[in-house]
Amino acid sequence: MRILLIEDDRVIGTAVREQIEADGHSVDWAMRLDTAADALAGAKFDLLLLDLMLPDGRGIPFLKSLRAKGSTTPVIILTALDQISDRIEGLNAGADDYLVKPFDLAELSARIGSVARRYAGNPNPVLSLGDLTIDQAARRVEREGKAVALTAREWVLFEAFLQNPAQLLSKAKLEERLYSYDAEIESNTIEVHISRLRKKLGADVITTERGMGYRLGRS
């Protein structure tokens, strides 16, 4: 997924970014609400991680403004505000989850996965795809009962297809899943990752529509 982190604390922001990058997601980090607004205007994000106390304003009005404009991008609030009234306010403003600082980074990863599955319309983390069994929560894949080791980026790419099973995904769309806007991307990166996925999961797991993109195969 491509995630926008909105957090002004450098220590927390660095830890969060390293955690979710290690999970294979791409991360753009904004330390101010105006910077976050610019990022949202210029790119599509799969998830926002939103602090509530930023140098140029509060996160709740920012979130309410996004929802008023019709944004359905999932939002997880990360904040030190721990009162029940704060949680209620955040959820009523349109947040999908609320995590109080300090939090365990592994829990953050789990919350991100849970929200992503919910938005993909598949709350059940275990899927069957031909001879594959996929546990999305554990990020584990088995082929004919044997575990298949995927790298973080291979998993994120495969997850993009699982979350959009009937859709044709363009190369540009897949690159957005893997990299932040300022990352250098080699021209054949997506092709290389898809080739590796086919070797590990089966040649027909991802089909190519030449000149257009890729689609999840195998029923």
- Note every long-range contact of 93-102, with CB atoms under 8 Å and residues 24 or more positions apart, other chains counting: 93/60, 93/63, 93/64, 93/67, 94/63, 94/64, 94/66, 94/67, 95/50, 95/63, 101/12
Half-sphere exposure (Cβ direction) of 144: Cα atoms closer than 13 Å:
3
Answer yes or no: do 35 and 106 share one domain: yes
Query: Which value, in Å, is the radius of gyration of the alpha carbons in the chain?
Result: 18
> Same structural domain for residues 70 and 142?
no
- Of the residues 119, 150, 168, the one at which a domain ends: 119
- Shared domain for 17 and 50, answered yes or no, is yes
**Domain with 75 in it:** 2-119
pLDDT band at 183 (very low <50, low <70, confident <90, very high): low
Same domain, 115 and 152: no
- In tens, the pLDDT along 54-92 reads 999 999 999 999 999 999 899 999 999 989 999 999 999
Q: Please indicate, yes or no, whether residues 13 and 115 belong to a single structural domain of this protein.
A: yes
Q: How many domains does the chain have?
A: 2
CA-CA distance, 215 to 219, in Å (whole number)? 12
- φ, ψ of residue 48 to 5 degrees: the values are -115, 135
The CATH code of the domain that includes 59 is 3.40.50.2300
pLDDT value of position 125: 65
pLDDT, average across residues 29-53: 93
Examine the fold and report which residue of 119, 139, 173 is the final residue of a domain before the chain moves on.
Answer: 119
Residues 112 and 133 in one domain: no
Give the residue, 217 or 143, on which the prediction is more confident. 143
- Are residues 107 and 179 located together in one domain of the fold? no
